[in-house]
Every structure is written in C-alpha cells, then in structure tokens.
Amino acid sequence: MDEQRAEYIKLFKEESSEYLSKLNKIIVELEKEPDNKKITAEVYRIFHTLKGMAASLGYTEIETISHDLEEKMEVFKEGEKRKVDADIIDEVFKGIDRIESLLATLERQEKTGEEASPEIGDMPYLEILLKEDVSLPAARAAVIIQRIQEKTKIESVDPSYEEIKSGNIGRILKVRCAEPEKIIDLVASIDEVETVKFEDKKSSGRTSPSGIEGIRVNVNMLDRMQNLVGELVVTTSQLSEIIRSFGEEKFQGVLDLHSRSVKELQEVITKIRLVPLSLIFDKFPRYVRDLSRKLGKEVNIEIFGADIEVDRSLLEGIGDPLIHLIRNSVSHGIESPEEREKLNKHRVGKITVSAKSVKGDILIQISDDGKGIDEKEVILVAFKRGLVEEEEMESLSKGEILRFLFAPGFTTKEKVDKVSGRGVGLDVVRKLVRSVGGSVNINTEKNKGTTISMKMPLSMSIIKVYLLGLDNQLFALPMTFVDETLTVSADSLSRLMGKEVMLLRREILPVYRLSDILRQRSSSNGNQHAPCVVVEIENDRFAIVGGTFRGSMEAVVKPLPSPIDRIKGYIGITMIGDGRPCLILDLPALRYRRSYENTGS
Amino acid sequence: MSARILVVDDAIFMRKMLADILQKGGYEICDEAGNGSEAVQKYEKNKPDLVTMDIIMPDMSGIEAIKKIKELDSEAKIVVVSAMGHQSLVVEAIQAGAKDYVVKPFQPSRVIEAVQRVLKL
C-alpha cells in the first residue's frame, strides 16, 4: 500500500469515527424530537459526507450503507411533512453499527493484513459482492475461495484468511489470482454471489480529503515529550537553586527567561495532550437508550461539561468506570416505569452526567433519580460478610456505611441485588479512579437516587501538591484529596469516645497524625498553632495534623524505582527545588491499608 | 440411480429431519452416524456419494471426521450442517475439505440446493 493511501485511510477512519459518534448522539435527540428538521438535516449531511469519503477510498459497503441511509433521510428533511419514526431510527442505528464494525475491520486489516492487503490495493483483482441474505458470509467466502483454488492459483485475499476464520468480514471479498478473467464466470455462477467485478485500481482516480487542520502525532512521542519537559522543569529549578546560592545577578536574568520558556513549553505540551470529554460522553446517550430499551425502562440522560478537556491518559482511564456506573444506574438504580408511577415519580427516569473543573481538578458526577441505596441493608450485608462487628453497627456514620459498597465482597450479583442492586463493580471503579490519582464518593438517599462523584487531577504526569514536612523528611500530598488547609490551635482538638477529633464549623472531624498515617515514629509534638489539612476521600472526611507546611508546587510525577515500587501508599516520586526526591502520598491507599491506632500523641 | 448420502449428526431429531428432506428430494440415505468416528467407519463401509456433516459432536468432531474422510478419499463430497454462530468452525471445516455448508435452522430447499450443487462438482 502506498504511503499516501495509508494516510488517507487513517484520516478516513478518524473522521468517520467522529461522525459516527456524533450521529449516535444526535439520533438519540432526534428520537425524542422527531420533527426537529435541523437534526434531520445534520444526519442527512453526515451520511452524505460519509458516502463521499468511503467512495473515494473504494469502501463499497460503507458507501452503500451511507448512500442508502442518506436517501432514506431525505424524505424527512426540511419542507417535508413526514416525521422521523422508530423504524428509520432503528435502521440508522443498525447502519451506524455496521459501519463501525467495518471500520474496526479496516483497523485490523492494517495491523494484521499487511502481507495480504498491500498488493490487493494496487493490483488487479476480482471483487466479489455476496448477496445480502447470505448466512455465514465468512464461510461462504471460504467456499468461494476453495472453488477458485480448484481452478487457479490464488495470490492473496482480502479480508485475510485469518479474518475470514474469525468471521469478521463484510459482503465484499477481493481475490487476486492468476488468470482472473478465466474464473470470473465460475464465480458469477455461484448462487450466493450478487456481482463479481474485475477491478484494476490503478486506473481509478482517488480524491483527497480536504480541510486538514492538524497532524497526527504518536501518543508515545507525546509521552516522551512530556517526560523530557518534566526533566527540564526539575533541572531548571535545581539550576535556579544553585544560582541563587552564588548570588550571581548575571545568570539570574537568563535563568528567568529560561524558566519562563520551560514553563510555557510545559503548558503547551500539556495542552496538546488534552482531548475533550465528549469523545466518551457522546457515546452515553446511545448506550443508555439501548440498555434502557432492553430492560424495558424509560430513561433520559443529560450531559454537562462534555467540552471540558482532560489529559488523554485520563480519558482512557475513566471510560470504563463511567460506563460501569451508567450501567448500574440504568439497570439497578432507575425503577421500571410502572414502579416509578406508583412512587409518584415521573415515568421517565433521569441520569445526569456532569463534569466540571474544580481548582485544577476534574469532578465527574453521575446521578440518577432512582431507588437509591438502603443503608440498613448495606449494614446487614456488611455484617453477614464479617465486614463489621455487631457492636460497631450502631455507631457507624452514613459515610462509613456507604464505604462498604467499595468492598470487593459487594460485587457479587445476588448480594448486590439485595442492596437495591448498587455496588456492581464499585471496587473496580474505585481501583480505576485511584489509578489515575483520584478518589470516589457515593451519596445516596432511599427512593431519591444516587450520586457518584469522581475527583481526579486533569493530568497524571504533573499534579499540584502540598509539601508536608515530618521531622527531616518531605512528603507531597496531591491537592486532589485536600478540601482545605488551616491552622488549628492545640486546644481545639478534643477527644470523643477515645478518639481525637476537632470541631470545624459545627462539623466534628476525626483527626489523624501524619506520623500515624505514614506509620513512622515522630519526635515532633504538636505546636501550639499546628497546620492542619482537611481531606475528603471516598466518603470519608478527616483532618491530618502533625506535619509542617512547606508550601505547594507542581510536581512532575515519576514512577517509583524498583524495588520500592512494591511498597503501597505512594503514587510516585517527584524532585523538589534543591534536587531532593520526595514521595507523593497515595492517601486512600495509606489511609485504608490497615487500621492504625488513632490515639493522638 | 439416485445418489447415496450418509447423514452425520449427534441429534437423532436432526438426522431424521435431514433424512426426510433428502429422501423427499429423491436421494437415498445409505446410513446415519452419531459422531465423528462412527462417520469415518461408515464412510469407509458405504462409500457414499455425499456426506452431510454436523460439526459439534461428541467423540470426534465433524472437522476431525472431515480430515479423516479426506485422507481415505480425497474426492469425498461433504456438506457441513451447522448452527448459526459457529462461523469460524464452518470456515475451518471448509478449509479441511468440506465443499459447502447449510445453516441450521434450515429450509428444506436450502439443503437440497447445497447437495445438488456439490454433487455436480
């Protein structure tokens, strides 16, 4: 395959996927407003565009599907009285799915079929179109190949033998063989074959897609670039430390310029890596539509903040957890229309997905107005599974109770269904969210609904941290976990049921010593005015005291070197200004790795 | 003389259905087999003109049986009869030497067409 064609194919796939994802989204809207002529026109236009693109590359099946749907949409366009109906919507969805799977095959062809398809792109070949109603097209393709093989030598086939075996083929089979003109009649006589053409690609022109505004960059390159900039940031601050100790004014000016450039470079690279959440959010309406239909429920989904941009790695990390949560909401949260009416709720359930930036982090919330989670049942299941002692059951706070939902034991289906179905894979969700440096919170009210909040840093490679000192060591605490910082006097700490607590604006917060969390012995005692960090993670709010504030910084996160990477409780390591390494705390992992004594000092 | 067919399927019900369809179509059922190894034996014994072969069967799979039969007789004419959803197995069976296939549930006409086609080869 020549390079130019390869490039066209890549572009085609990218652009088509974008169109399909857009279609998936707007078709769901169109289903709700069947006389919305604007959306109708948009759908029509997209199929028209797809058709043209596919035709330029010779992807006949995509072309045919798009053309067909374009024609079908035409009768609903502006000036026409007819409203879009469920049948056409279904047909459009079917078409989208088919095109999607064809695009996926293109991808595979590129990866695996390099030996088979390259020549087929340019050499004369037989293009065999199977009839639409052929059952098991891949098996039929195998039969046809066998027939041809009996008469002549086959050079290559497209889709490849592997793809045929995996069953992943469309209606078109391309065969390059010796003396194709002699077997064309044989192939045409096969019942299941609709048409067979002798194709010579070289003579057919190709049109190039226009309006390219960007270039494709390998993500690995971006990762490397970001790492290098990270190194630059670190060495720059080391340099500035050294120069400051020399007190040389001459260097200072250059260094300031240099630092500014590095900072800008870092910002640019961070921006390059950003992608809009809409890339995954746009899939949700279709997903909710299909799932709710299957379950006989009526559910609307509202999406806010899809235009917020996040780091590519984060986007990849949160796609699955979000789908998990939406599935939970549709299948277990939202009641059936009949049940909802009995409860005096609107027949149609509502799921809201919202994203917003909060102090440099991203907060994604998924809410539903379904049946919520019954705390009492959660406690009961927790007790049965030995997660809680009988004596403790009375004194648990709501937050503590809901935290049981994160226990792996709560994922089994029967148990979960008893707990009004919530909790499916919540431990998995938590794990995934933690892996991108974030934390999860659940809020729920019986019969009102459930909200799951995920807070994560925008990027995993550079995060904002507070520096906390303990004796002679420095630790970095990601700001994502921090709700506020304040100074407390020693007498505002008190004891409640043997545990240290503090009163903050009428809220009683448990207090933990930094040394206890880190499981280190510390010689430092609480000063009269001690700094205090209020953190909020996973349905848990508490204060950390006993450290000293050493400011805040943007930390370039480096993975822990082996063998200390096996120690749990640290996200990674960062360098501070003077070149010293500093561990970045994985607060949820430290806090919940085991119980430690909360006795104060 | 009408062509003689060996019907291979692990389900008696399916064998009966196939046999009825084929007999109605004017073919002679020379024998039936319920698994792969039985099919190979009966092929050797009866030397049928054609075999209809199920794929998923106990003892020896249809694909194995096709290979064995092909070893005995490279000209053997075999039509695979398989359920939907086993496409990759059907492809494998064809690569092993089956000449055509019919998908369960089938229409009688489909079976006859496939058999006619393969016998003409």
CATH number at B42 reads: 3.40.50.2300
Q: Is B43 on the interface with A (CB under 8 A)?
A: no
Q: Are strands A473-478 and A581-585 parallel, antiparallel or unpaired?
A: parallel
Measured between CA atoms, the residue of chain B closest to residue A149 is B95
The kind and range of the H/E element at A122 are helix A117-122
**Does the distance separating the beta carbons of B95 and A142 come in below 8 Å?**
yes
pLDDT at B47: 93
Q: How far apart are CA A193 and CA A130, in angstroms?
A: 4
Q: Please judge whether A136 and B84 are an interchain contact, meaning their C-beta atoms are less than 8 angstroms apart.
A: yes
Neighbours of A224 (CB within 10 A): 11
Q: Is A169 on the interface with B (CB under 8 A)?
A: no
CA distance B42 to chain A (A): 25
Contact assignment for B103 to A138 by CB distance below 8 Å:
no
Residue of A nearest to B88 (CA): A165
pLDDT of residue A112: 47
Number of inter-chain CB pairs under 8 A, A vs B: 40
Strands A309-311 and A274-276: antiparallel
Q: Chain A: nearest CA to B118, how far in angstroms?
A: 11
CB contact under 8 A, A142 and B100: no
Contact of B95 with chain A, judged by CB distance below 8 Å, is answered with yes
Question: Are A136 and B103 an interchain contact pair (Cβ–Cβ within 8 Å)?
Answer: yes
- Minimum-distance CB partner of A164 among B91, B101, B117: B91
Q: Which residues of chain A have pLDDT under 50?
A: 112-122, 201-212, 411-424, 594-601
Q: How far is residue A25's CA from residue A541's CA, in Å, rounded to a whole number? A: 38
pLDDT (tens digit per residue) in B18-64: 999 999 999 999 999 989 999 999 999 999 999 999 988 877 889 99
Query: Which of chain A's residues have a Cβ under 8 Å away from the Cβ of B87?
Result: 136, 138-139, 167
How do strand B78-83 and strand B50-54 relate by DSSP bridges? parallel
Cβ <8 Å between B90 and A139: yes
What pLDDT is attached to residue A581? 82
Q: What value does the mean pLDDT take over residues B79-107?
A: 85
Domain count, chain B: 1
Tokens representing A601 are 């000092």
pLDDT band at B84; cut points 50, 70, 90: low
The token duo for A388 is: 């809680």
Residues A94, B117: Cα–Cα separation, whole Å: 34
Give me B59's structure tokens: 């003892």
pLDDT at residue number A115: 33
A141: chain B residues, CB-CB within 8 Å: 91
pLDDT at A72: 83
* Spatial separation of the C-alpha atoms in residues A299 and A371, rounded to whole Å: 14
List the domain range (segments joined by +) for residue B96.
4-120
Q: Does A135 touch chain B (CB under 8 A)?
A: yes
- Provide the pLDDT for residue A596: 39
Q: Where are the beta strands (DSSP E) in A559-600?
A: 570-575, 581-585
B window 96-115, beta carbon within 8 A of A? 99-101, 103, 113
What pLDDT does A410 receive?
65
Say if the Cβ atoms of B94 and A139 lie within 8 Å: yes
**Interchain proximity B99–A167, CB inside 8 Å:** no
From CA A250, how far away is CA A254, in angstroms rounded?
A: 7
Predicted ipTM > 0.95: no
Q: Would you list the DSSP string of B24-56?
A: HTT-EEEEEESSHHHHHHHHHHH--SEEEEESS
Q: Tell which of A140, A143, A157, A160 to mutate to test the B interface (max B CBs under 10 Å).
A: A143
What pLDDT, on the 0 to 100 scale, is given for residue A413? 44
Q: Do B84 and A139 touch (CB under 8 A)?
A: no
* Chain mean position to CA A435: 12
- Residue B69 in this model has a pLDDT that exceeds 90: yes
Q: Transcribe A416-431 into DSSP letters.
A: HHHTTTTTTTHHHHHH
A557 touches chain B (CB under 8 A): no
